[in-house]
A and B are shown apart, each in its own frame.
Chain A
Amino acid sequence: MPRDLADVLHYFLPELDDDPQPAADSEPGEPATVAARDAARGAAETAAGLAAPIEAPPDEPPAATRSPRSRAIETPPPLPILGIPSADRDVVRAALIWNLAVETARLGGRAIVLAPAVDEDSPLWPAPGTGPLGAELQLSPVHDLAELGRAAKALASDRGRRTRQGGAIFVRVPIQWIEADGPRSDVIDWWLVLTTAHRRDLAAATELAAAIDGRLERAEIGATIHGVSSIGEARGAFEHLARRCRDQRGLDLRSYGLLVDDLHVYRAIASQRPIGLAHPQAPATRALMDVASMLYEDARSRVLG
């Protein structure tokens, strides 16, 4: 859906958070940052000749200068939701998901991992709540894909309202929920498949992408190759996977780089510490940062677009 420039500029507005001069017409109790933003936006609109007279609702204070655009700025769109299929006991993929969230937070985005509550007693995750760099883990008592999607949307709306920097909701989706019979839905339309470069795993990833495409409407699917030791190995694996997806299902697969399963990953899993904090110079950390950057950039594009 097209957006007006003024409706999305708040994604680039961190500098105004420190503006010490809130607008004179701000409402009592209104955050200074919003007031300053409205003032600046109002100035922009006035200068641009765009401001249209808007009648204030009867129950609002006399903020006649406020326009619908200012309200749009006060209520940012929901965060994009990224579904990541993972088996219930897949510790490695869970660790990669959590660490991608931490790296997204390091880039400045809001990053929340949402997982079914069935994970509560498993060793997949750290303790729920806010973790390193503000990355969050939320467990939700859901029982199927539709419920998980609704929980993700609610979380995306709630966290989207609280952030001006963008980010993403990373949802661990049990693979059996995708493969289960059910009506097609659009609860999650952005997916990331994590696969190794082994032929058997690539075949399974192809089936998984096909299952996602069969179950979810308008699904955009990306893939990250993990467990590789060279870029050439990852490139070859992705090209193989993308070719299979296109030939067999007509799917356009998007590349989200590669991840490394080096010793640091397993050490970090064992200690439940983010790899990027425990081993900031490790290849695994560099790769995580690279993939997180691509996801964060695409998340911003999805909101803006």
Chain B
Amino acid sequence: MADFEWNVRPERASLRRAVRHALRDLDPGLRIVAEDFLSIRSRMDLLGVAEEGEIVSVRIGLGTSGEELLTRALADLAWLRPRAADLLKLVPGLGIEPSAEPRALLLSPDFDDETRAAVENLPLRTLELIGYRAYRQHGGLGVVLEPCKPRGAALRSPRRIGSEPEDPTRASRPTGFRTGLRDEDLRVEPEPDPRSGTPSSQN
């Protein structure tokens, strides 16, 4: 069986987790603070606070039309806007800036032309479209994110991803293994030699 598989059909919870991890690379300033939040009638997949203190709704399309995603994201913005100050009062530690306009990220395997055109009517960064492709490797689900480039505007993503999926055989391919450690963290610091007070070569 192949180690790497495109075109998987992920379940929403797994997809949400994979997106959450992929967003760390795509937008390091975005802190996801909650999942599966009820907005007006439907659930935001992820809720985050970005670098400038703006609240960010993340909607992931999974068998959802672009129009539906767009409507829900716009509703999220309207729902979040009057609550920013209250959320700040309730949760000061999150770093919410009440004067910052909320934003929304829409993720979908593809967006149709009408959805793309509709988004261009909004102020820059209010609503961003991000394409995703899910893959499975070594048993783990991952996603490749590709921001949709608005006409006339440069990509703001710190990591630009090509329109074609990355070659899975490349050394930099994603892996399901997770750790926040580096090999240096696993090196044992030499303990002081009690006789001389200098680091011992043992240990």
Contacts and interface: CB of A to CB of B under 8 A. Distances in A.
A2 B42 CA distance: 9
Given A15-B92, A44-B86, A305-B13, A287 B139 contact: no
A40 B85 CA distance: 11
Q: Could you say which interface size class chain A belongs to?
A: 35 or more
A127 interface: no
B133 interface: no
Contact of B140 (A15, A242, A293): A242
B90 A40 contact: yes
A304 interface: yes
A260 B186 CA distance: 8
B116 interface: no
Interface string B17-35: 1000000000000000111
Nearest to A248: B1
A37 B92 CA distance: 13
A53 to B, nearest CB: 19
Contact of B139 (A13, A232, A243, A260): A243
Q: Could you say which interface size class chain B belongs to?
A: 35 or more
B185 A286 contact: yes
Contacts of B139: 242-243, 245-246, 251-253
Task: Classify the interface of chain A: helix, strand, loop or mixed.
Answer: helix
Contact of B177 (A9, A48, A255): A255
Nearest to A14: B93
Contacts of A48: 82-83, 86
Contacts of B181: 231, 257-258, 286-287, 290
Given A5-B37, A12-B93, A47 B176 contact: no
B153 to A, nearest CB: 32
Nearest to A232: B183
Contacts, number: 139
A246 B136 CA distance: 10
B179 A15 contact: no
Nearest to A257: B179
B182 interface: yes
B18 to A, nearest CB: 11
Nearest to A222: B178
A3 B38 contact: yes
B26 to A, nearest CB: 18
Given A16-B90, A48-B82, A304 B177 contact: no
Contacts of B185: 283, 286-287
A290 B179 CA distance: 7
Interface of B: 1, 3, 13-14, 16-17, 33-38, 43, 47, 82-83, 85-87, 89-94, 136, 138-141, 175-183, 185-189, 203
Q: Which 3 A-B pairs have the closest CB atoms?
A: A44-B86, A242-B139, A246-B139
Interface of A: 2-5, 8-9, 12-16, 37, 40-41, 43-44, 47-49, 229-232, 234-235, 238-239, 242-243, 245-247, 251-258, 260, 262-263, 281-283, 286-287, 290, 293-294, 301, 304-305
